[in-house]
Each structure stands twice: as structure tokens, then as C-alpha cells.
Structure 1
Amino acid sequence: MNPSAALDRTLVVVPTYNEAAMVGSVVTGLREVFTHVVCVDDGSHDDSAADARAAGATVLRHPVNLGQGAALQTGFDYALRHTDASHVVTFDADGQYLVSDAVAMVELIEETGVDIVLGSRNLGRTEGQPFARRVLMAAALRFSRRMTGIELTDTHNGLRVLSRTAVAAMNLRQRGMAHASEIESRIASAALTWREHPVTMCYSDYSRGKGQSNLNALNILFDLASDRIGAPA
């Protein structure tokens, strides 16, 4: 395996909403190792799109805010229709993830040939995570395991590497944050092969301020229940 060739064949999708404070530096870090970075600007009201473009990303724009799930699906559609990328990395714009972890996950998917590699903070480490967030994520993990039947060690982790086959299987319907559990459901329904990889999540004052409130977890559960009720048998 040629690591450089694998990175050249990989498209990084960065969903972005009002991330002008961080997205430029995030894209700059990604562009040091990844040739192709796409930021999907999800109706931002700040300079996110301009900053991402200046840092070297291709920018796709939603005229209004549709949610992170919709932004990811736009990135997936772009990868399939406009590129020959063999893999897609999903990477958040708030600076919580390490580019080195994304590189290691691309290497793992190349070595193993699985369809998707999922980042796990519980196999790796978390810096600065609030206690309430830790409790919430533990509850979300239990819910996700019951819903999907997949024994993951982490859930709602935005760092993933998907093969082109996995990208084609997504077709996300959940536009908001419930898309993360929906991705796990797609893994089960499409019988995709998967592995987890330890990652480091770095919570900062900025990322904690941008994060989902605990109350919004109820909205995620409602979206997931609605998706299950409305899903074809």
C-alpha cells in the first residue's frame, strides 16, 4: 500500500455551519495531507464559506440551514457524482478531531478492505469532555446498540472513513444530528463490514459552546423513532 496514493484518492467532507472561528485552520490542517477537501456550508451567516475556500477547500452551499445530516448527504452525493474518490472521510469543522487519526483510519480501511471505519473516543481518549456529556453519550450508545444490533464502543462520533460502496448505501433521511445513528442503521441494513479505530476528541471552550445541548438529545430520539416507524418493512 502506498499511503500517499490512498490519501490522494480520499475526499474529506466537512459539514460547516457558522464555523468561521475554526474552519480555516481545520481545512488548512487537512490540506497538509489530503488533496481533496469539500466543505458543505449549511446556510452559515458568517464567513465560513469564504474562509474554507481561502484555506483550499471546495465549497458547496445550502441556501438555508438544513442540518448536519443533510450537509453530509450533499457531500456524499458530490463524491459519487463528481469525483472518482475511493473513500470519503467525514470530519467536523469545530477542531475536535486530529488529522493524524483520520490518516490512520484511511490506512486501516485500505489494509483491511472493510466498508467503513468508525472513530471511537472510548477506545482512544477524550480531553475536556463535560461529565453531563459523558453520561448522555453513554445513554445514546446503549440506545444505538439496541436499535441497530451493532456492538459499537462509541456513537455519534463524526470522524469516519467510508468506502465508495458505503457512501452509496447511505442515502440519509435524517437531516439533523440523528443522522449519526442512522448511519449505524445503514451499516446493519446494507450488511456493510466495519471496524472501529481509537481516536482522540479534544473538547475546547469553543467546541463545548457549539455542541448539542442535552435537551436536544430528546429531539434526536424523536427523529430516530420517527425514522424507524416510517422505514419500509
Structure 2
Amino acid sequence: MHGNRYDDTWIVIPAFNEATVISDVVADVRAVFDNVVCVDDGSRDDTAEQAWRAGAHVVRHPVNLGQGAAIQTGVEYARSRPGAAVFATFDADGQHRIADVIRMIGRLRDEKLDIVVGTRFAEGTPNNMPTLRRLVFPLIAKLSPTSRKLRLTDAHNGLRVFDKAVADGLNLTMSGMAHASEIVALIVENDWRVAEEPVEILYTDYSMSKGQPLVNGVNIVFDGLLRKRMRR
């Protein structure tokens, strides 16, 4: 145990076929945070066993349902745990840094915020993202009306920290990558107080091989627009 500082914090890691890296990712997270839940989203390898051996709580989907569904399952598990008050979504491929999570939690606790989302595009932030993606993803954010309303520059960053009110109100219905736009829409609909925090993404050959095609970014925006129309 690491004392009481983060006893109320749960890290949610959605994972699909990440057996080669998940043990190291969970171990790195648990060096600071005791409470980690890994949602094995129908993996065909031993992701679940590797995560469990590294000390994570493990919830398994029998079939692959997509990252949105995995995040929803993980948040539901975490928010049901006694004393849970702070939550973070954290990618399974090793792209995210613990230091960024700690800083985001600090902002959540010290400022009047409900959710802090990471951004790769703040001025001065180290960014080794491939050039095409670095050009396209900010444009995707600008295409999204909800992102523009909140002045978010990187709405599809997987690193987020939020409080119990957001965790209790999170009800993702879009199971795939469109969950990112759905989270932004929920921020607007619930008037959650949001801020961006500059974060560094650690791009590796492995994480890039697991990345989403650029066309998915456009699909995310249109899925978000469709959700908005359906809720009217």
C-alpha cells in the first residue's frame, strides 16, 4: 500500500490483446496507485491473466465490445467500490505517463473542476506524434460543435481524470471509439466543469501499430453529431 493519498483513486484501463505490455503498464500504475481495474475486452491472448498477475482487478468481456464499452464497465466497477472518489481512464499500450495523471488529479482536487482531459496540442508540450496525425486531429476537434463550445483542442485523448459525480453520470452508449465524442457531449449536457491539461504521449512502434486509422477520427465526429440529433 502507498498510504492514504490516493486511496480514493481508481485507474480504469481498457485492454484488448495487450498481453505483451499490460503487465508493465499495470505495474507502473500500481507503483503509485493501488486501485487499478483492467477491463479485458474479449482479448484472444492472456491479457487478463497478465493484468491480474500485475495486481489489477480484472473484469472480462466475453466478446470484444469496443473501448467505449470497456471504459463504461471499468467505471461502473470502480464507482461501486467503497470510498472511490477520483477516477482516471488510462490506455493499455504504454502511451500515457503517470506524472501526467498525478498532475491532473492535483488540478481536479485544487480547482473547481469535475473533469480534466489531456491535450497533446498545448503550446510547448512535447509532441512526437506523426506529422499527418498532428495536423489532422486538431482539425477533427474543430469540426466537433461540442468540442468548439468547450474550447477543447484534443477531445479524443484517452487520458482523463474525473470526480464521482462524473463517474455516476457516465452512461456511454457508443461502444467503439465514438465514446470520446460522447464524453464531450455529456460534459456539455451535464454542465460538468472541464479543463484541459497538457500531457505527453509516448509514441512507440507498438503503440502506433495499435492506433486507430485516421478515418476513424472523422467517423468519431459524425457519430457524435448523430448522437446529438438522436437525443433531440
CA distance in 2, matches of 1:169, 1:143: 25
Give the Å deviation of 1:187: 0.8
Show the counterpart of 2:12. Answer: 13
Q: Is the 8 A contact 1:11 1:87 kept in 2?
A: yes
Q: Is the 8 A contact 2:172 2:183 kept in 1?
A: yes
Q: Is the 8 A contact 1:7 1:103 kept in 2?
A: no
CA distance in 1, matches of 2:190, 2:154: 20
CA distance in 1, matches of 2:221, 2:106: 34
Show the counterpart of 2:97. Answer: 98
CA distance in 2, matches of 1:169, 1:186: 8
Show the counterpart of 1:219. Answer: 219
Alignment deviations for residues 153-196 of structure 1 (CA, whole Å, 9 cap, x no partner)? 22211111110001112211111111111111111110011222
Show the counterpart of 1:157. Answer: 157
CA distance in 2, matches of 1:4, 1:101: 20
Show the counterpart of 1:189. Answer: 189
Amino acid at match of 1:27: V
The structure-2 alpha-carbon separation of the partners of 1:218 and 1:105, relative to structure 1 and needing over 3 Å to count, comes to closer
CA distance in 1, matches of 2:3, 2:140: 36
Show the counterpart of 1:45. Answer: 44
Q: How do 1:1-233 and structure 2 match up within 5 A?
A: 5-123=4-122, 125-144=125-144, 146-148=145-147, 149-231=149-231, 233=232
| Structure 1: gaps (5+ residues) | none
Q: Is the 8 A contact 2:119 2:196 kept in 1?
A: yes
Alignment deviations for residues 77-102 of structure 1 (CA, whole Å, 9 cap, x no partner)? 11222343111011000111111111
Q: Is the 8 A contact 1:23 1:93 kept in 2?
A: yes
Q: Alignment partner of 1:117: what SS?
A: strand
Q: Alignment partner of 1:197: what SS?
A: strand
Q: Is the 8 A contact 1:91 1:160 kept in 2?
A: yes
Q: Is the 8 A contact 2:172 2:182 kept in 1?
A: yes
Alignment deviations for residues 176-218 of structure 1 (CA, whole Å, 9 cap, x no partner)? 1111111111111100112221111111111110000123234
Give the Å deviation of 1:227: 1.2
The structure-2 alpha-carbon separation of the partners of 1:6 and 1:109, relative to structure 1 and needing over 3 Å to count, comes to farther
CA distance in 1, matches of 2:125, 2:36: 26
Deviates more, 1:21-30 or 1:112-121: 112-121
Root mean square deviation, CA, Å: 1.7
Q: Alignment partner of 1:11: what SS?
A: strand
Give the Å deviation of 1:108: 1.4
The structure-2 alpha-carbon separation of the partners of 1:6 and 1:113, relative to structure 1 and needing over 3 Å to count, comes to farther
Higher strand share: 1
CA distance in 1, matches of 2:4, 2:151: 32
Q: Is the 8 A contact 1:126 1:203 kept in 2?
A: no
Q: Is the 8 A contact 1:27 1:57 kept in 2?
A: yes
Give the structure-2-normalised TM-score. Answer: 0.93
Amino acid at match of 1:66: L
How many residues align? The count is 229
Amino acid at match of 1:76: V
The structure-2 alpha-carbon separation of the partners of 1:64 and 1:126, relative to structure 1 and needing over 3 Å to count, comes to farther
CA distance in 1, matches of 2:76, 2:60: 13
Deviates more, 1:102-111 or 1:156-165: 102-111
Amino acid at match of 1:84: G
CA distance in 1, matches of 2:4, 2:118: 22
Deviates more, 1:186-195 or 1:77-86: 77-86
